[in-house]
Chains A and B, each alone.
Chain A
Amino acid sequence: MIPDLEYIRAIDLNDTLKILDVKNGKVKVLAGGTDIITGLQQGFSRFAKIYKLLDIAQLNELKSISINEDSFEIGAGLTFSEIIANNNIATAYPLLVKAASTIGSVQIRNRATIGGNIINNAPCADSLSPLLVYDASVRIQSNKGAKEVLLKDFLSEAYRTNLEQNEIVTHIILPKILKTYIGDFYKLGRRRGVAISRLSLTVLIKCEKQIIEDLRIAGGAVTPVAMRFTNIEEMGIGKKVSNKLLISLSQEIGRKVLKVTGLRWSSAYKLPVVQQSLYQLLVNVCKKLNGTNVA
C-alpha cells in the first residue's frame, strides 16, 4: 500500500521552482509515476522518505520540442509514446525511438517520461544508451537560473544523478547528427515483449572508404550506470573495417565490463553474451554502411 502523502500539482515551471526552493529537500518531483508509484507500492527503501509529491506531468513547458540549427531540444516531460509518435525525432534520432519503443508496454509508455527515465537512472533504463551515443546533455533549471550538463557527467551512480534538490531537468539537448552516421540499438530481455533489459547496446559509426572515422558505443544494464565505452571506441577509430577488428573490439568490451563490475555470479553468462551481442551489432551496422563488407 502507498503510504500517506501530500500531493501538490504544479501550476507551471516557475511555480515548480518556487515550491522546490521553499520545501527544499522535502518534496519529490513526480512525472509519469511509473517508477515512483510502483516503488512506493512495493515499499522500496529509496522511496521510503517521500512525504510530498510535486506533480509536473501536466506542464506544457516540459513538453516542447524545438529544432535548432545545430541541436534538438526535447522536453523532459514528454512521454515515450509522444517521442515515438514524433516524426522529426524519429528521423533525426532513430536509435532513441527504437529504444523507446522497447520500453514497458503501451500503458507504461503512455505515462513514463524521458526525463523520469534519466532522473531515476536505473541501470536498465533503455533510453540512456542511445542518449549517450548521441552526446546528449540535460538542461537543468532552478530558481537561480539554467545550465547544461553532459548526460554522461550527470549520471553519477545507480539510481542517482547530480541533480540538486532545488533543480529540475527541463530539456534534453541532442546535437545534430550527420546523415552519414549509421547505427543500431539492441536489447536483450528475458522475453520478447514488455521486458526489463538484461543488456542493451547502442552503436553509431561513421565510415569513409572503409575507414572508421567515428565510433560510439554505449551500454545499459551491463554496468551499474549506463556508460560509453570510450577505450573501445578509440581502439576502432582510424582503423579499416574488418572482421578481425570487430572481433577484437567485442572481446575488449568483455574485459571492460569485468573491470567495472568485478567478477559476479552472472559473469560467466553475461560476458560472452555482451561480447557476442556487440559483435552482431557491429556486423549488422557495418553491413548497412555503403560499400563496406565485413569479410
Chain B
Amino acid sequence: MSHKIEFILNGKSVCINTNANRRLLDILREEFQLTGTKEGCSIGECGACTVLMNNKAVNSCLVLAGQVNGSEILTIEGVAKNGLHKLQENFLMAGAIQCGFCTPGVIMSSYALLLENSNPTEEEIKEAIAGNLCRCTGYKQIIKAIKDTIS
C-alpha cells in the first residue's frame, strides 16, 4: 500500500509516496540517493545504518516509512553539508577509518552523543558507540578521534 510521507531531511522539507513495507534506510538510499547510510545486518545489530531521528541515534533499518512521517532526519550527508565535519576530520587524522563501511554510522552515533553531552567521558563514548560494529580499524582509534573532537 502506498503512503504519502513528509519529513525534514538534512534540514529540507521533503515529501514522497512510498510503500509501507519500506524502511527509512531504503528511502534514504533509493529515493534520495543518500548512500552514505549503509546496510549491514538489517536487524539492528551493526549500526551501519545509524541516522539521527529527532536528534536521537536510531537504526534506520528498524524504522518503517510511515514512522518517519513528521520527523526530522539527519544523515551523514547532512553532517558534511559544509565540508567535512570536525568529527570526520579527526577520524581521518586518527586513522579511525579503513574500509569505511562502519564510519558513517559511528560518526552519527558520536554526533548524537556530542549533541547531548559536549564533554563525555571515555565510558560514555564507549556506551554511545557500543551499537556500532567495526570489523577493521579497532575501536582505539575511533575513541581517540571522538576524544580529539571534544578537546
Give the B-binding residues of A (Cβ under 8 A).
1-7, 9, 30, 33-34, 37-38, 41-42, 53, 55, 57, 81, 104-108, 110-111, 193-194
Q: Is B43 an interface residue (CB 8 A)?
A: yes
14 additional contacts (CB under 8 A) given A5-B20, A33-B62: A1-B21, A2-B23, A4-B19, A4-B20, A5-B21, A7-B66, A33-B63, A41-B42, A42-B43, A53-B64, A107-B47, A107-B50, A111-B63, A194-B131
Binds A, one of B8-16, B52-60, B74-82: B52-60
Please tell me which one of the listed residues B56, B67, B126, B130 contacts residue A33 in the complex, with CB atoms under 8 A apart.
B67
- Give the docked Cα–Cα distance between A104 and B127 (Å): 11
Please tell me which one of the listed residues B1, B23, B59 contacts residue A107 in the complex, with CB atoms under 8 A apart.
B59
The proximity string for B residues 101-131 relative to A, scoring 1 for CB distances below 8 Å and 0 otherwise, is 0000000010011000000000000111011
Q: How many A-B residue pairs have CB under 8 A?
A: 93
- Give the docked Cα–Cα distance between A30 and B44 (Å): 16
Q: Do A107 and B66 contact each other (CB < 8 Å), given the known contacts A4-B21, A7-B1?
A: no
A-B contact pairs, 29 of them (CB 8 A): A2-B23, A2-B64, A5-B21, A6-B20, A7-B64, A9-B69, A30-B64, A34-B62, A38-B62, A41-B43, A41-B61, A55-B64, A57-B67, A105-B47, A105-B130, A105-B131, A105-B132, A106-B57, A106-B113, A106-B130, A107-B44, A107-B62, A107-B109, A108-B59, A110-B53, A111-B59, A111-B62, A193-B130, A194-B130
Q: Do A6 and B62 contact each other (CB < 8 Å), given the known contacts A42-B43, A106-B57, A194-B131?
A: no
Which chain B residue shows the least CB distance to A191? B130
* Chain B residues near A41 (CB-CB < 8 A): 42-43, 61
Please tell me which one of the listed residues B44, B65, B131 contacts residue A38 in the complex, with CB atoms under 8 A apart.
B44
- How many B residues are at the interface, by size bracket? 35 or more
Please tell me which one of the listed residues A6, A37, A57, A104 contacts residue B131 in the complex, with CB atoms under 8 A apart.
A104
B3, B22, B58 — most chain A CB neighbours (10 Å): B58
* Chain B residues near A3 (CB-CB < 8 A): 21
Q: Do A108 and B21 contact each other (CB < 8 Å), given the known contacts A7-B3, A38-B62, A194-B130?
A: no
Tell me the dominant secondary structure on chain B's binding face.
Answer: mixed
Residues 79-101 of B at the A interface (beta carbon under 8 Å): none
B42, B112, B128 — most chain A CB neighbours (10 Å): B42
- Give the docked Cα–Cα distance between A34 and B42 (Å): 11
- Give the docked Cα–Cα distance between A33 and B65 (Å): 12
- Give the docked Cα–Cα distance between A111 and B61 (Å): 12
Which chain A residue shows the least CB distance to B55? A110
Which chain B residue shows the least CB distance to A4? B21
Which chain A residue shows the least CB distance to B130? A193
Which chain B residue shows the least CB distance to A8? B66
- Give the docked Cα–Cα distance between A30 and B3 (Å): 17
- Give the docked Cα–Cα distance between A41 and B49 (Å): 15
Which chain A residue shows the least CB distance to B20? A7
- Give the docked Cα–Cα distance between A37 and B63 (Å): 8
- Give the docked Cα–Cα distance between A57 and B63 (Å): 11
Among all A-B residue pairs, the 9 with the closest Cβ atoms = A105-B131, A7-B20, A7-B66, A193-B130, A2-B21, A110-B56, A38-B43, A107-B59, A107-B131
* Chain B residues near A42 (CB-CB < 8 A): 43
Closest approach, in angstroms, between the C-beta of A240 and any C-beta of chain B? 39
* Chain A residues near B64 (CB-CB < 8 A): 2, 7, 30, 33, 37, 53, 55
